[in-house]
Structure 1
C-alpha cells in the first residue's frame, strides 16, 4: 500500500509543470531549465542562468520528500562552464534567493503534486 503523502505524478509532467511555473517565481531576467532526473522519479535537475554581466549558472537538485515538501540541494555554480567559488557573499546571497524561489515554485504546484 502506497503512503498517502507519496508523490504520484509522471516525472515528465512534473518537469514540464516546473518549467512553466519556475520562471514566474525567479527574476524575470533570469532563465531556467528544468529536467527530470533519469535516475530518480522524485528528483528534478534545475539550472538557473542568472542575468547580468556575471552570467553565473546554478545547478540544483530538487527532490520531493512526499507530495508537499521538497529538498533543495546546490550541485554547483559555474561561469563560462568553469566551477566558481560559491562561498563569496554575493553568490551565497544568490543561492539563498534561488533556494527560496525553488520552494515557492513547489508551493505553487501543490495542487498538482498533492493529489
Structure 2
C-alpha cells in the first residue's frame, strides 16, 4: 500500500512524459517514508473526455492515494507535498493539479499474493 492513481486529460500526453510523471509520483511516495517501497503501486489513466471549468484548452492531473488507515493528517499532507515537490517542474503547463488521500476500510480490502 498505497495505490497511487493518476488521472490526466488526454492532451497532456503530447506535452509531458506520462511515464516520467508516474515515476515521479512513485518516487514521492517512497521519499515520504510512510510506506515500504515494495508495497507502493502507481499507475495512470487517460481521460479522453473531460471538462475543466469553462476553458476549452484547460487540462488537469488528479492524483488519488488510497492507503490503509492510521496515518495522521500531517502525514497525509507530507505525502502530497513530497509528490508535489517532484512533479512541479514537469507540470508547469498543467491548468489544474489536485490530490487526495483516501483511507481504505481494512475490512473491505482484499489482497492475494501469488508466488
Q: Indicate the TM-score class for this superposition, using the shorter chain for normalisation.
A: 0.3 to 0.5
TM superposition score normalised by structure 2: 0.41
TM superposition score normalised by structure 1: 0.41
